[in-house]
A and B are shown apart, each in its own frame.
Chain A
Amino acid sequence: MAKTAKKETPKKAAPAAKVAAVSPIPESPLFFEKPEKFNQVNHSLTKIDSMGLVCGQQKYVADIDLPNLLHIKVLGSPHAHAVIKSIDVEDARKMPGVVAVFTYKDVPRIPRTTAGQGFPEPSPYDTYLLDSKVRFVGDRVAIVAAETPEAASEACTKIKVQYQVLKAVLDPEKARDKDAPIIHDEKDCRVPIPIFYDPKHNHCSHVETAVGDVKKGFKQADVVLEKTYYPHYAQHCPIEPHICIGYLDENDRLVLRTSTQVPFHARRITAQTLGIPVKKIRVIKPRIGGGFGTKQEVLLEDVCGLVALKTRRPCVWALTRAEEFMAARTRHPMVVTIQSGVKKNGTITAISMRIISNTGAYGSHGLTVLSNCGSKVLPLYRADNIEFIGDTVYTNLPVGGAYRGYGATQAAFAMECQMDEMAEAIGMDPIKFRQMNHIKEGESSPIFKALGEGREGVDMAIGSCGLSKCITEGMKHIDWAKKYGKPGNGTKRRGLGMCCLMQGSSIPEIDMGAVFIKMNEDGSFNMLLGATDLGTGSDTVLGQIAAETIGCKLTDMLVYSSDTDMTPFDVGAYASSTTYLTGGAVINCAKKVREQIVAVAASIMGEKSEDISIDDGICYGKGRKNKVTFGQVCNYAMYEHKQFQIGAIGSHISHASPPPFSAHFAEVEVDTETGEVKLLKYVAGVDCGTAINPQLADGQTQGACMNGISFALTEEYIFDENGRMLNPNFGNYKIWSTKDMPELVTFLVPTYEKTGPYGAKSVSEISINGALPAIGNAIKNAVGIRLTRPPYTAEKVLTAMKELNKSAKVTGKAAPKAASAAKAVKAKAEKPAVKAAKAPAKSAAPVKKAKK
């Protein structure tokens, strides 16, 4: 059971307990039927918006022209932790072109979260539109709206702020110390659901669960290993930075055209922040230039709403790239300690995972990213005794948030490195060790129920698992049998590494998606989705599911997402849920539409409904003697007999979160003289159930792999001693481009997941998790060092190799440089290079220009 120690009484009650009595509300189906063959799904049909995108026709947020547009600039804090003693905006207000300036004195103070999650959110209400205190470098100080972006920026420099600079918390491991400054000392921060929250000790969340008895498990083990891993800060780097346009429409309602993954949560949270009713706001999500989680955050909408309402003029706020790095959201860095016990025969007797997660200045997704570390990683391997203890702490550093992988990235890094360490300790092949321990079809894990999102999880058995095949196929692609454990003996050593992964598909019994479909007289359909295509191709995937169910072509589905005035509710694009969850809603909706079509066709042809079959937009009578087209059906329904609109709405919630599975492999070459790691080849096999659109699923895998690789090898936040990021630009925060690419091989392993639409599971997140452990294990295989503080830069590799050589000399063992590195380490498996792992995570990349 997840511990929900309660230190503060929340004002709002928890969601009502499930009503056991029979309810007239229709249930979402547990399973979906499997058709004999697929006509539209499981085909690589052309992404419906792609031609418009490559011709520059699709409209993103910025791509509309509004007259009298104001430009917003927000003055960011230069200090990591300070109180605003005084703030004078008179000079700024007087500047030519400046229309409005707002400070905390001018706006309502309503605590809320920026995390775009279901209501009530499992994230603390610790964030304000503006506050008299700043909690990280880049935190909001004041808002300026002006006729030009230049005037707005200039005005920011004229605002006179007197700060009382406070001691900052920059080390998450010391955040809960007795003498640590309190970051959220305000009285009104709170959590909206009954969960642990102790801001007075910078303690944002706590999750604890246990299965069996780990102490007993360690006693049963032949080897017990403990190691600490430090997954690092990272930014999503969508090529389109956050942007929002606000204006009042002809009915004086606030319209927010915004780069969001969560239009409905954005509407609700903006209403809450501004203290206005939801009905006053319309959120439009046009095309989005990538999100990866950072746009699951309601970051700009409140400010644009405020300015539009106060000035009654349209306004735009577009983040600069530096602001995107410093003041948008990041991947929670963590300290992950794993203690594990294993028998010589390969049985894992116990796993203890303890985590300190750094959420930065605000607790956005602080609890749920933490729970996911356990729930998306621990079920992968069988162990009778498991313990998970996690704590999220506040620091005065950039704010964590949702980032593709969502905790699984951080924990899988630790767990999969630990798997290699365990295999080495008992002298077993790391793949064989994984193959004998990984979860298989029909099996379950107590973790599924123990760890939910802010509440208990949902028990489930694995209905589909193609992991075994991902492993065996991947081994062939990387040539494992021939290359593993053969580093060579020159100055450049080669190594192979691998890892296994799982994720989830939506948040079971919490997330809901809904769809509306109506028929047009030429036999086409409008499908309106609350689900949010942010570039993934979900409009296409969901269109394929609808076309398959109704019995027409994808080209006859006109898909639109999303607009809170026009489309039904959907939680949004997160938690690997759109295909799996909203796809279910599409089937539920399209079935109703199909039934109506069948009824009309039966009426036209004078046949029984049960005799009607549909094939490619044509309804056939018994024995295919009679037929009517979809166009005839719709015209009949619109104009001829018992007229009605053929159309329906459908919703879905899932009762499971079936994991996709994946195996990743990396081949590296490590230069023992410079420490440089060259990634030669990367292989990823993914079981996402039925790939609704294999080409798009493959694209998700390739993109996620490349992001993970870049995260593992070069992406790094470099801070000065006061908590300021020194490299907020693509020149010094290196994300990979074409010339950096390794040979990348990706493949799909089809399985059929009965709880998913046409057998589908999720695909988007899982593959970002593989590179940190797979490359880490490959480096270990090549030169015998275990790096626990990524990214794996040349400096860290070299430092760790020197430490290894030193300790090898002390223990009288042969230095790995002379003989096979892998063997040298194997000989002293009980003493891995712990010291080397503690090499300081200081600046690796030279900082060419630090922005002010």
Chain B
Amino acid sequence: MKLNTKINGKAFCLEIQPNATLMDVLRQAGMKSVKFGCGEGSCGSCAVMIDGRPRNSCITLAGCAEGAEILTVEGMGNPENPHVLQKAFVDTGSTQCGYCNPGSLIAAKALLDKNPNPTAEDVKDALDGNLCRCTGYVKRIDAVLQAAAESKKTTKSTRGKK
């Protein structure tokens, strides 16, 4: 069957199997940041944004994304122009093996999109579905709070310009 979807702002028409997971389809389409961790929606490594909401793509049928807009970390930023969250993850040392980072960043972005002034508790709530075995989570919570503070600064300055 055909899947018409927008991935990171670009329109795709993909030939898929009816039982294909969104994780597999995205990876085949080149979005290798979407990682397999458990295959049952427990670890969050495969999290992507579907129409602005974080979803575990390993337990989402690709067909469900018909007409949807999907965001992966490839669409959040690149090393030349990273998203404020990506930069904060780097600055705070939140990255060790990095395997869970894409999913965690998606969850963090979903939080900041909804709540630009999160408390540490809000961050813990938002990232609870993203398991990490390397870091102990301390630095990534700092990273999200730092990114929120940074975004506020930027929003203020751009608002002045408008």
Contact B93 A44 (CB under 8 A): yes
| A residues near B118, Cβ cutoff 8 Å | none
> Is there a chain B Cβ closer than 8 Å to A737's Cβ?
yes
> Is there a chain B Cβ closer than 8 Å to A419's Cβ?
no
The one of A318, A535, A735 in contact with B96, judged by C-beta atoms closer than 8 angstroms, is A535
> Is there a chain A Cβ closer than 8 Å to B136's Cβ?
yes
Known interface pairs A56-B102, A702-B139; A50-B90 also in contact (CB < 8 Å): yes
Contact B95 A237 (CB under 8 A): no
> Is there a chain A Cβ closer than 8 Å to B57's Cβ?
no
CA distance A535 to B133 in the complex (A): 11
Contact A739 B105 (CB under 8 A): no
> Is there a chain B Cβ closer than 8 Å to A240's Cβ?
yes
Known interface pairs A55-B82, A730-B38, A741-B124; A50-B89 also in contact (CB < 8 Å): yes
Contact B97 A239 (CB under 8 A): yes
CA distance A46 to B134 in the complex (A): 17
> Is there a chain B Cβ closer than 8 Å to A68's Cβ?
no
> Is there a chain B Cβ closer than 8 Å to A288's Cβ?
yes
Known interface pairs A239-B37, A535-B97; A59-B32 also in contact (CB < 8 Å): yes
| B residues near A49, Cβ cutoff 8 Å | 95, 98
Of A340-348, A463-471, A692-700, the stretch lying at the interface with chain B is A692-700
Chain A: which residue is nearest B28 at the CB level?
A: A65
For residue A405, give the distance in angstroms from its CB to the closest CB of chain B: 14
Chain A: which residue is nearest B42 at the CB level?
A: A730
Task: Mark A290-327 against chain B: 1 for CB-CB distance below 8 A, else 0.
Answer: 10100000000000000000000000001011000000
Contact A703 B134 (CB under 8 A): yes
| A residues near B72, Cβ cutoff 8 Å | 56
Contact A289 B90 (CB under 8 A): no
Chain A: which residue is nearest B40 at the CB level?
A: A729
The one of B82, B89, B90, B98 in contact with A58, judged by C-beta atoms closer than 8 angstroms, is B98
CA distance A51 to B95 in the complex (A): 9
The one of A52, A318, A703, A738 in contact with B79, judged by C-beta atoms closer than 8 angstroms, is A52
> Is there a chain B Cβ closer than 8 Å to A67's Cβ?
no
The one of B27, B133, B139 in contact with A238, judged by C-beta atoms closer than 8 angstroms, is B133
For residue A81, give the distance in angstroms from its CB to the closest CB of chain B: 29
Contact B99 A741 (CB under 8 A): no
| Interface hub of A57, A699, A729 (most chain B Cβ within 10 A) | A699
> Is there a chain B Cβ closer than 8 Å to A724's Cβ?
no
Contact A56 B136 (CB under 8 A): no
The contact size tier of chain A is: 35 or more
Known interface pairs A240-B35, A289-B99, A536-B96; A57-B79 also in contact (CB < 8 Å): yes
Contact A737 B135 (CB under 8 A): no
For residue A103, give the distance in angstroms from its CB to the closest CB of chain B: 27
Known interface pairs A53-B95, A738-B127; A239-B82 also in contact (CB < 8 Å): no
| B residues near A54, Cβ cutoff 8 Å | 73, 82, 86, 89-90, 95, 98, 101-102, 105
For residue B23, give the distance in angstroms from its CB to the closest CB of chain A: 11
For residue B36, give the distance in angstroms from its CB to the closest CB of chain A: 7
Known interface pairs A50-B89, A54-B82, A696-B93; A738-B98 also in contact (CB < 8 Å): no
| A residues near B136, Cβ cutoff 8 Å | 699, 701-707, 744
> Is there a chain A Cβ closer than 8 Å to B138's Cβ?
yes
CA distance A631 to B44 in the complex (A): 46
| Interface hub of B43, B78, B136, B137 (most chain A Cβ within 10 A) | B136
| B residues near A47, Cβ cutoff 8 Å | 90, 93, 95
CA distance A739 to B126 in the complex (A): 9
Q: Quick one: which of A265-290 are within 8 Å of B by CB?
A: 287-290
> Is there a chain A Cβ closer than 8 Å to B74's Cβ?
yes
> Is there a chain B Cβ closer than 8 Å to A731's Cβ?
yes
| Interface hub of A240, A705, A731 (most chain B Cβ within 10 A) | A240
Q: Quick one: which of B74-111 are within 8 Å of A by CB?
A: 74, 76-79, 82, 86, 89-91, 93, 95-102, 105
The one of A240, A735, A737 in contact with B97, judged by C-beta atoms closer than 8 angstroms, is A240
Contact A239 B40 (CB under 8 A): no
| Interface hub of A51, A58, A236 (most chain B Cβ within 10 A) | A51
> Is there a chain B Cβ closer than 8 Å to A62's Cβ?
yes
Q: Quick one: which of B137-162 are within 8 Å of A by CB?
A: 137-139, 141
Top 10 A-B pairs ranked by shortest CB distance?
A535-B97, A56-B33, A53-B98, A289-B99, A702-B136, A706-B136, A730-B42, A738-B124, A695-B93, A63-B32
Other contacts beyond A47-B95, A287-B97: 14, CB < 8 A? A56-B72, A59-B32, A240-B37, A241-B37, A288-B97, A318-B36, A535-B134, A696-B93, A699-B139, A706-B137, A707-B136, A737-B128, A737-B131, A738-B125
26 contacts between A and B (CB under 8 A): A49-B95, A54-B73, A54-B101, A57-B74, A60-B99, A62-B27, A62-B36, A239-B45, A239-B100, A239-B132, A240-B99, A241-B36, A289-B98, A320-B39, A321-B37, A535-B98, A535-B99, A695-B93, A702-B135, A703-B96, A707-B133, A730-B40, A737-B130, A738-B127, A738-B137, A739-B128
Query: Residues on A close to B: CB < 8 A?
Result: 44, 46-47, 49-60, 62-63, 236-241, 287-290, 292, 318, 320-321, 534-537, 695-696, 698-699, 701-707, 729-731, 735, 737-739, 741, 744, 746
Query: Residues on B close to A: CB < 8 A?
Result: 27, 31-33, 35-40, 42-43, 45, 72-74, 76-79, 82, 86, 89-91, 93, 95-102, 105, 123-125, 127-139, 141
